[in-house]
Structure 1
Amino acid sequence: MLSLKVAASWPLSSRLVCAGLLGALMAVVVYVAWLGRLAETLQAAQAEEARLRVAHQLAQVKAGRLPALRAGQRQAAATLARLEQQLPRQQEMADLLSSINQAGLARGLHFALFKPGPAIPATLPSHYVALPIAVQLRGGYHAIGAFTADLARLPRIVTVHELALVAGNDGVLTLDAVLHAYRLPDATELAAQAKLLPVKTQSMPVPHVVAPALDYDAADLPDPFGAAVQAVAATQNAVAAPDLKRPREALESVALSEMTMVGSVRHEGRLSALLQAGGRVHVVVVGQHLGHDHGLVTEISEQGLRYREVLQEANGAWRERRGGIEVQAGKVIKPIIAEAQP
């Protein structure tokens, strides 16, 4: 029997076989240890490959949606540009305030308070200045509703905040609200805003904004504030219903609050009014209809025109309302005059 103590005296063949076995054993141990590390590295690489494949698939899905996302971004930018087109500049705010006041007066409302407050500066990320206007007006429920619809039809953006309605003992409502009119910042405000966050703007042509028609039909809406009292008053002051089958005239599609009298002309001894509406100037004579509520021109002078409207109350009765449009001095009119034929 071979003994390691006398390994030096073993035959050469035995010593070679033992050395070969020892070397093979050491090689197996080293190989197993190295292979384990390789297996761990392989598993990590396979997991990373699977993660990258999933990320690649998600990236392909996102890439497929990129054209639609870019189209949506362009549409949002165009919408923003159109909305900003409705923002007047500081020097145009006086006309906007006058339009708001005329819209209320055209609906027969009485302004007890019309007080513009200090402007609210533009703050990022918005780029407009808000002008709060505290108003208090008195009138009927449907007249107030029609007034808010007229505000929505204005070419400029006006929003209503902090609205409160209170009914008096006489059945007349008092509206307290804060209107917010918006304008573009002036050069000083833009410079102050640019110091906070420089914004690169690119001018682009935008189409003309056409405000959607928001008709207020009082006949289909109840009055929650003393409807019975208003119904009695309307019945007592009822007038004959207008001819609903009568063909509508051109200016009956335009609200009275959007009309401005810019002058008058005399032809063959008859005085006609020049009304600016919808970007054109129309020649109007006595007897023509205008406005949404069966308005009829009853009188024309060089100072303005008078009209009579017939409105339907919630109980179905018709009542008469009279008003006028005063001539606006200093208005610049376009040389496009259209004859407003019945």
Structure 2
Amino acid sequence: MALSDTLEQLKDFDVNDIDIDRIGVWPLPGRIFVCVLVVVLVFAGTYYLKIKELNLQHERAVAEESSLRTTFEQKSFQAANLEQYREQMKEMEQSFGALLSRLPSDTEVPGLLEDIDARGSESGLNINSIRLEAEQQSEYYVELPISIDVEGGYHDMGTFVSGVAGMPRIVTLHDFTIARKDSGGELAMQIEAKTYRYKSQDE
């Protein structure tokens, strides 16, 4: 069909005369347009139904690959330093064991109170009272507060505090008050000592 015939058909073509049932006798440009439109719709439908889903799967796979790569690098670093971690774990276990050995057991608490009393006497202080208070429970240990009431000279109190802090068992000192007892230079001190007991899994 010549180009002039096609143009002539286009001049005579009226949109109102479109009949889907007679598509075979439509002018060539109309049939080409319909074919192109069908192809475009097929591609668009294919994209939204299939290719878009594939793109989403690809994006998820890329994100998962990045996460796996990071995990692999971390585990590779840990594996390369595994021997050092084992050495550090042994050192920590030894340090932990040494600290645990410095915590008094239930049966050793009375002996600890006697040791504190002995430090006070050695320092030249008068011991008014050394009293074990109610236990304070924590997640991993039990805190044992000890109220101490002593009298004596300023330097004697310093020697006493130093002696208690240097005891083999772990004892910490808190919340002290010092007041002048009389004009002779005697002082009265109330101080709280705390020791700790490791909490077993049964408690």
Task: Tell whether the structures are fold-level matches, with TM greater than 0.5.
Answer: yes
- Alpha-carbon offset, residue 42 of structure 1: 4.5
Matched residue SS, 1:156 = coil
Structure-2 separation of matches of 1:190 and 1:38 = 58
Task: Provide closer, same or farther for how the CA distance between residues 82 and 25 of structure 1 changes in structure 2, counting only shifts above 3 A.
Answer: same
- Alpha-carbon offset, residue 9 of structure 1: 8.7
Query: Does residue 112 of structure 1 match 2:128?
Result: yes
Query: Which one has a larger percent helix, Structure 1 or Structure 2?
Result: 2
Letter in 2 for 1:174: A
Letter in 2 for 1:110: N
Letter in 2 for 1:89: S
Structure-2 separation of matches of 1:9 and 1:155 = 107
**One of 42, 47, 64 as aligned partner of 1:52:** 64
Structure-2 separation of matches of 1:190 and 1:146 = 38
User: Cα RMSD (Å) of the superposition?
Assistant: 3.6
| Map of 2:196 onto structure 1 | 182
Letter in 1 for 2:100: E
Query: Conserved in 1, the CA contact under 8 Å of 2:113 and 2:130?
Result: no
| Map of 2:45 onto structure 1 | 33
Q: Where do 5+ consecutive residues of structure 1 fail to align?
A: 194-342
Structure-2 separation of matches of 1:59 and 1:73 = 23
Query: Conserved in 2, the CA contact under 8 Å of 1:90 and 1:184?
Result: no
Matched residue SS, 1:88 = coil
Query: Does residue 167 of structure 1 match 2:180?
Result: yes
Task: Provide closer, same or farther for how the CA distance between residues 149 and 31 of structure 1 changes in structure 2, counting only shifts above 3 A.
Answer: same
TM-score (norm 2): 0.68
- Alpha-carbon offset, residue 101 of structure 1: 0.8
Identical amino acids, percent of aligned pairs: 20
Structure-2 separation of matches of 1:47 and 1:163 = 65
Query: Conserved in 2, the CA contact under 8 Å of 1:166 and 1:173?
Result: yes
Letter in 2 for 1:80: F
Structure-2 separation of matches of 1:88 and 1:9 = 103
Query: Does residue 81 of structure 1 match 2:94?
Result: no
Query: Which one has a larger percent strand, Structure 1 or Structure 2?
Result: 1
Structure-2 separation of matches of 1:148 and 1:139 = 12
Structure-1 separation of matches of 2:145 and 2:196 = 9
More relative contact order, 1 or 2 (CA 8 Å, 6+ apart):
2
**One of 160, 163, 174 as aligned partner of 1:147:** 160
1:273-292 correspondence runs (5 A): none
Query: Does residue 157 of structure 1 match 2:170?
Result: yes
Letter in 2 for 1:106: E
Q: Which has the greater radius of gyration?
A: 2
Task: Provide closer, same or farther for how the CA distance between residues 62 and 26 of structure 1 changes in structure 2, counting only shifts above 3 A.
Answer: same
Query: Conserved in 2, the CA contact under 8 Å of 1:159 and 1:179?
Result: yes
Q: Where do 5+ consecutive residues of structure 2 fail to align?
A: 1-8
1:164-313 correspondence runs (5 A): 164-168=177-181, 169-183=183-197, 191=202, 193=203
Structure 1 runs, 4 residues or longer, greater than 6 Å off = 14-21
Task: Provide closer, same or farther for how the CA distance between residues 60 and 170 of structure 1 changes in structure 2, counting only shifts above 3 A.
Answer: farther
Please give the per-residue CA displacement for 1:274-306, whole angstroms capped at 9, x wherever unaligned.
xxxxxxxxxxxxxxxxxxxxxxxxxxxxxxxxx
Structure-1 separation of matches of 2:120 and 2:24 = 125
**One of 142, 149, 169 as aligned partner of 1:136:** 149
Structure-1 separation of matches of 2:154 and 2:112 = 24
Letter in 1 for 2:167: L
Matched residue SS, 2:141 = coil
TM-score (norm 1): 0.44
Structure-1 separation of matches of 2:72 and 2:91 = 24
Query: Conserved in 2, the CA contact under 8 Å of 1:136 and 1:177?
Result: yes
